[in-house]
Copies of this chain bind each other. A is one copy, B any other.
Amino acid sequence: MTRVGVIGATGYAGAELVRILAGHSEVELTVLTSRNYAGEKFEAIYPALAGVVDLTCEEYNIDRLCDRADVIFTALPHKLPMAIVPELIQRGKRVVDLSADFRFQDPLTYEAHYEPHTAKELLSGAVYGLSEVYFEDIKSATLIGNPGCYPTSVLLPLIPPLKKGLLDHRTIIADSKSGVSGAGRSPSLTTLFCEVTESFKAYKVAEHRHNPEMEEVLSREAGQEVNITFIPHLIPMSRGMLTTIYATPAGKIGPEEIRQCFDDCYEKRPFVRLRQDTKPPDTLHVRGTNFCDIGFKLDERNNRLVLMAAIDNLVKGAAGQAVQNMNIMLGLDETVGLLNTPYPI
């Protein structure tokens, strides 16, 4: 059985990895590291998992890690993975990195929005882990740059019609809304309960670092440079992300054509659910799951296509997709460990 370690197991994405991997029938979770909680039982930090996960957090030590794990998830703030991933790869480990460090093919784009990159040599070999789109590449990958939550919610609904040439690529606007867990577990004024409840607002307006990430992928898929306007907003809720996309069709299209376009891409993909009726996707319906629910509407009066996608930012937007990618890398069914029945409410 494949042994798995999580580096940075006590942040929200790390803990979500622990949840999924603890219930995964084909791998064994063997190592959890945490800078802040080394020496503490995981269940002392997340009492929900008392009696379920019986592991103790430890300091990161590459030798001890590599002795006990074959696949490594790095759930750390960006910049930190660059420092440790190269050696993990060198030692023959497979790595899924949840930070931005290995998402970009072009190091200049990364450096323009993040930091000087110190492991550039790995970028060309790293695979962008948008599971449904890069499935084939992921199979043989040793290093996955797991997508950001916003990019996942923008790219899954946008790539099919864009790639098929149905959209005027100069007209794309993505208005995204995210639950608070996306901001992580570090105490901060902006994520205090009293600052968030009854608050709804945009932030990093047209300046968010997920914007270049989306554009690199969209440009690659469209075969030409694509720039989009992207505005994230914060929702007073814990988990969930909804993206509403606006674009002008490249020519005359009808709903059947759009539906067909999605079916062509996703009909056999278990985690994309194209709504079969006119109800728009709802974050409540994907909460705690790896699903991406997609809906659309043609605003014919204004000749605009409206795409909507709902995900759980911690699952399909982070830990769930990471495990899906591991499954694909290991030749397992991509759904293993990810089919917990969704809660009705």
B285 touches A288 (CB 8 A): no
List the B side residues contacting A342 at CB < 8 Å: 19, 48-49, 52
- When all copies of this chain in the complex are counted, the total is 4
With contacts A192-B193, A193-B238 taken as known, whether A280 is within 8 angstroms of B244 at the C-beta atoms is no
List the B side residues contacting A51 at CB < 8 Å: 270, 273, 291
List the B side residues contacting A288 at CB < 8 Å: 288, 343
B344 touches A200 (CB 8 A): no
A242 to B198 alpha-carbon distance, docked (Å): 11
With contacts A173-B173, A297-B205 taken as known, whether A345 is within 8 angstroms of B237 at the C-beta atoms is no
With contacts A44-B277, A173-B304 taken as known, whether A201 is within 8 angstroms of B282 at the C-beta atoms is yes
A165 to B246 alpha-carbon distance, docked (Å): 23
Sample of 19 further A-B pairs with CB below 8 A, known A23-B339, A202-B306: A16-B344, A44-B277, A47-B285, A50-B275, A50-B285, A175-B175, A180-B193, A194-B345, A198-B284, A198-B287, A199-B282, A201-B242, A201-B282, A205-B306, A227-B302, A229-B304, A231-B244, A233-B242, A233-B244
With contacts A187-B192, A233-B244 taken as known, whether A282 is within 8 angstroms of B200 at the C-beta atoms is yes
B283 touches A200 (CB 8 A): yes
9 contacts between A and B (CB under 8 A): A47-B285, A50-B293, A173-B304, A175-B175, A202-B280, A205-B299, A227-B301, A229-B299, A231-B306
A246 to B228 alpha-carbon distance, docked (Å): 12
User: Please, how many residues of chain A have a CB less than 8 angstroms from a CB on the other chain?
Assistant: 89
Closest to A189 in B: B187
The 8 closest A-B pairs by CB, nearest first: A15-B344, A199-B284, A187-B187, A201-B282, A206-B299, A48-B342, A23-B341, A48-B285
Kindly provide the distance from the CB of A36 to the nearest chain B CB, expressed in whole angstroms.
10
A344 touches B198 (CB 8 A): no
A49 touches B238 (CB 8 A): no
- Check: A258 CB closer than 8 A to any chain B CB: no
List the B side residues contacting A173 at CB < 8 Å: 173, 246, 304
A177 to B52 alpha-carbon distance, docked (Å): 26
A188 to B189 alpha-carbon distance, docked (Å): 8
A145 to B68 alpha-carbon distance, docked (Å): 49
- Check: A18 CB closer than 8 A to any chain B CB: yes
List the B side residues contacting A242 at CB < 8 Å: 200-202, 233
- Check: A239 CB closer than 8 A to any chain B CB: yes
- Check: A46 CB closer than 8 A to any chain B CB: yes
B206 touches A341 (CB 8 A): no
